[in-house]
Structure 1
Amino acid sequence: MAEFPCQPESTNRRLQSILDLLSSAGYADAHKPDITAPEKLAGGLAWCVAALNSPNSQIDVVVSSETLPHEDNKKEIEEALRSLKCPHSLEASQIRNLDCESIFPVVQWLLERVRDGKDENQRKVGVVSQLQQLRERISMEGAETKVQKFASLMQSLKDMEKKESEFLSYSGAKRYQLEAEVIYLKEKIAGGCDSKSLSDGLDRSLSESAEELNSARKELAATLRAILAVKRQLDDVPSQSELIQYERRLSDLYGHIQGKHQQTQKHYDTYNALLEIKELMLKETSLLNSISSQFQNAITSTAGRMKLIDSMEGIVKGSQQKLQKVRLGLEEQEKIRDALKERYTAAIAAQRQWYSLLKAFQEACAKNERLRSSTSV
């Protein structure tokens, strides 16, 4: 551990802890021997503030010995901390006088904010990448019509992202807490603390850390299971080729059903026609039997003959009406037949025209290919 002359031992240890934190976060000038301690602290604070004010909050700000803050810049650091709403107050005189007990919590808070911003940006980049991959997959599989089904999946993804953000925040805070505990233990070791109490404290810390690690592993396993479930749901969505195959199979099934329907309808029509013929034949037989039974009695008298003649005329009239009704039905069926024939003839003509156009198109394509091949040669 580097010592800083003319300072108490406790101040040196706290100053070294602050510089270790800054160095672990990426501040390059934390351990340069040619820079004074106040300049290192001011430079580290300025580095943290600049990292927070950068557009992406990335820890890539370079503060060299030529650009270290002067006295006026220390005032600016004080104002910047107030504008950032730092919960710990810090004045320029405290930086100049190496008030490490006041500077240490400020540095911890700034580094936590910087690293939280970096984690948040990385998470956003990951989410944007996942969304882009999801859009590409949707576009490739031709599943634009399935967007509504993906809404619930996207909501699940957002929930998992929220849980991930909370976990990152918790892990970041826990990390800084552990770093602070490590620094505290180093100070206790340097100060000659009781080894037994220190060992007991370390055992408790290890036990608590092991429990937290197991809990984090369980949460991670649950998150992975949820992600796998979402992926399986995405895989359940049929691809474009599968949709085409389903459509072809459904079309074949529809054609088969139509054929069966037409065949069944034909059987029904045949049955109805035969049933009607049967009824007519039964009526004819009944009529002939009635005439035969009444003829012998009616022929013996004039009144009977007249009654028989009237009855026969009524039968003839009813038969003519029935015949007229059948003829009207036949005419309607003939009209339907003629209309279907006209439609069939028009369809045949259109088919021939399409065949001729297709043939002309194929010939034009072949001619185009020949011209291309001759041009390329």
Structure 2
Amino acid sequence: MAESFSEFPSQLGPILDPLASAGSDRTRTADSPPVDGELSRPIRLEAASGADKYVISAEEQEQALRQLEEELDDATTSVERLNAALKEKDERKAHVLNELNRLREKIRDAGADSVVEKLMLLLRSVKALERQEFALKSNFDAKHAELEAEICELEAKASNDYDDKSLHDGLDHSIGTASENLHLAKKELAARLRAVLSLKRQLDDVPTPSELTQYKCRLAELNTNIGEKDRQTRKFYSTYNALLEIKELMLKEISLLNSINSQFQDAIASTAGQMKLIDSMEGILKGIKQKLEKMQVGLQADQKICDTLRERISDSEPGGVLAS
């Protein structure tokens, strides 16, 4: 804007300079009236060649000055109008930038950056598809025009009683070209269909969120069933081991009773046999006591483990009862 103001002195110079030179070059005579009345006198200006002379009255000077002032006012008004328009555009630009920053902050706060990126990718895909569509339409229009030209040419040949052999040769050539193009188009279509089917299979292999939820629920059910089966199996093995141990003890007891029964009559017949029987019975009793002590130690260890498990269950689930 400062440049527009600086241009006015250079534009007004050619107009104001003759006036200034005229005011400085005019001469006074002794009979001249006072200075206050000098504006009513005509001003004589010499041309650049010095041959012609022009007379400009005070009214014309005032009119020229008024015209210049009006032009200056118009230019000032235009400059002010341009300044106001520029200021308004700056305000609009600042408002748009503020709105854009606010939208970006909202997107960041909402955590929708990935959604926006996907939307931008989709928009770019749409534009690419539009370009492909335009290219296909252009190709289609060109082929359509070419086929119409061939049809018109064939109709013209047929209407002008063209040579049948040449006409048949041209038709055969056109049909062969069309068949070849059709074969190539079928190949391209088959390749694209294979690619589409491959992509569909890949998409089908990717589980959907609902399928993932179903898989998760099913895996949780299977885990629960496996845990229940594991507990039952452990219980069955414990029962089997206990029964097997009871069986071994009962077999030993039966063997001992059979041995005592078979040797009892011979043992009580003599004093030495009685002492030997008593010693053997004491050894058997001692072995039974050792076995009992070992069983009690194992029982205490199992009881401690059971108490620990009860405490853990009661801490994790208040009021829970350990299943036997």
TM-score band (shorter)? 0.3 to 0.5
Which one has a bigger Cα radius of gyration? 2
Q: TM-score, normalised by structure 1?
A: 0.40
Q: TM-score, normalised by structure 2?
A: 0.46
Relative contact order, CA 8 A, sep 6+: which one is greater? 1
